[in-house]
Amino acid sequence: MNPEKIETAFPLMEEAIIALQRSLGTSFFDAYIENTENLVDNAKVRVLDQQPDEATVKKVEALYQKLLDLKLDKEDWRKLTQLILLKGSKTESIQPNHQLTPDSIGFLFVFLIEQLTLKKEQPLEILDITVGMGNLLLTTLINLQAANYSVKGVGVDNDETLLAVTAADSILVDEDIKLFHQDSLQDLLVDPADYVIGDLPVGYYPNDQQAKKFVTHSEKEHSYAHHLLMEQAMNYLKPDGFGLFLVPSNFLETEQGPLLQKWFKDEVFLQGIIQLPNDLFMSEHSRKSIILLQKKSEMTEQAEKVLLVHLPSLKDPNQVTEFFKKFEDWKSSNL
């Protein structure tokens, strides 16, 4: 990644999107999608019914040429799109569950998958059933590929706009991702994956009839969506596969926590809990952890010692290195 190039590229991309937004009279995210599709289409502005106007087309295509002259690589483009989407999220009305997963957390997922993969030459398929705007999946895929892993991605989401952002970005960074627009808790037309990942949306799932198909459903009230999604994702894993999920740190302490614990006991191994730094979150209530689940099979067993670690900071390289060593030591002794 080249920070100087990204710093130069950011105002060019932002100006192009704003110009399209004004000329087309659309939302920021619709203009963002239009802009990204233009860049993929040989950096030519698409004109329908004389919109956008000629002056806007000329201005935007000149900005595109300056962007192309920077010769950004895949990770540069991904980082640029993330920064643009973060800026746009501040001006558009976007619910918390639709926010981008920060890069720092994405890089932790990359490290964990590298550590858990026994053979580097093994082709991997990674499934994200709550892919949203795709930053977690794209961060994981691009950085694993940069480390010479052969990896493909699959994403599912029920929000058409978020999925369109992911689709446009994946083409822009030349990443072949299979995307499915549907309720992630319905039957999925995906093959079993080596890893399932997710920054799981927190809240209640309104379809009680569908929820009853899952062990983690509640008889008393609407079921927690993040519990159901965790269970659903693990259903689409290969027998010895791993699930890595970003969940509320108090996930075992809630009223529906016992339902999750029953599912853990019957269907999966809870192998680790990594509590993320407090300074990543605005309040104690919003703190999150990465949990590491493994599908039960004849080839897998419960770790003798569950990994329980609190990461004090992602800004201090020494503390991050210390965590890496703790994880490696734990893995060699328990998996």
Residue 195 and residue 117 share a domain:
yes
* 262-320 residue pLDDT tens: 999 889 999 999 999 888 877 777 789 999 999 988 888 898 999 999 988 888 889 99
Residue 141: count other Cβ atoms within 10 Å of its Cβ. Answer: 26
pLDDT of 322 higher than 80: yes
**What is residue 136's predicted lDDT score, i.e. its pLDDT?**
95
Residue 114 and residue 86 share a domain:
no
- Last residue of a domain, which of 91, 107, 135? 91
**What is residue 52's predicted lDDT score, i.e. its pLDDT?**
92
Residue 217 and residue 113 share a domain:
yes
95-99, 168-172, 183-187, 308-312: least confident range = 95-99
**What is residue 325's predicted lDDT score, i.e. its pLDDT?**
93
- In b/e form, how buried is each residue of 266-304, taking b as 16+ CB within 10 angstroms? eebbbbbbbbbbeebeeeeeebbbbbbbbbbeeebeebe
Q: Please tell me the total count of domains within the chain.
A: 2
274, β-bridge pairs: 290, 309
Residue 199 and residue 69 share a domain:
no
**What is residue 102's predicted lDDT score, i.e. its pLDDT?**
84
Tokens of 26: 């659309």
Asked if 125 contacts 152 with a C-beta cutoff of 8 angstroms, the reply is: yes
Residue 97 pLDDT grade (very low, low, confident, very high; cuts 50, 70, 90): low
pLDDT of 64 higher than 70: yes
CA dihedral 194, 293, 112, 162 (to 10 degrees): 70
Residue 192 and residue 284 share a domain:
yes
Tokens of 320: 């991050």
Rounded to an integer, the average pLDDT of 171-186 is: 94
- Write out the residue range of the structural domain in which residue 19 sits: 3-91
Asked if 182 contacts 158 with a C-beta cutoff of 8 angstroms, the reply is: yes
Residue 152 pLDDT grade (very low, low, confident, very high; cuts 50, 70, 90): very high
Residue 186 pLDDT grade (very low, low, confident, very high; cuts 50, 70, 90): very high
Rounded to an integer, the average pLDDT of 4-14 is: 95
Residue 178 and residue 115 share a domain:
yes
Strand pairing class (151-157; 237-248): unpaired
In SS3 terms, 209-269 reads as HHHCCCCCCCCCCCEEHHHHHHHHHHHCEEEEEEEEEEEECCCCCCCCHHHHHHHHHHHEE
List helix spans (H) across the chain: 3-24, 28-40, 54-69, 74-91, 103-116, 135-146, 160-172, 208-211, 225-235, 257-267, 317-334
Give CA–CA dist 149/164, Å, rounded: 26
Residue 132 and residue 274 share a domain:
yes
In the DSSP assignment, the letter for residue 286 is G
7-11, 34-38, 231-235, 247-251: least confident range = 247-251
**What is residue 88's predicted lDDT score, i.e. its pLDDT?**
86
Rounded to an integer, the average pLDDT of 81-86 is: 91
Residue 94 pLDDT grade (very low, low, confident, very high; cuts 50, 70, 90): low
Residue 197 and residue 117 share a domain:
yes
Give CA–CA dist 115/109, Å, rounded: 10
- Last residue of a domain, which of 72, 91, 110? 91
Indicate which CATH number applies to the domain containing 57. Answer: 1.10.150.470
- Last residue of a domain, which of 68, 91, 114? 91
Residue 66 and residue 101 share a domain:
no
Residue 57 and residue 166 share a domain:
no
Give CA–CA dist 193/240, Å, rounded: 10
Indicate which CATH number applies to the domain containing 122. Answer: 3.40.50.150
Residue 310 and residue 265 share a domain:
yes
Q: Is 12 left (phi over 0), alpha (psi -120 to 50) or beta?
A: alpha
Residue 194 and residue 130 share a domain:
yes
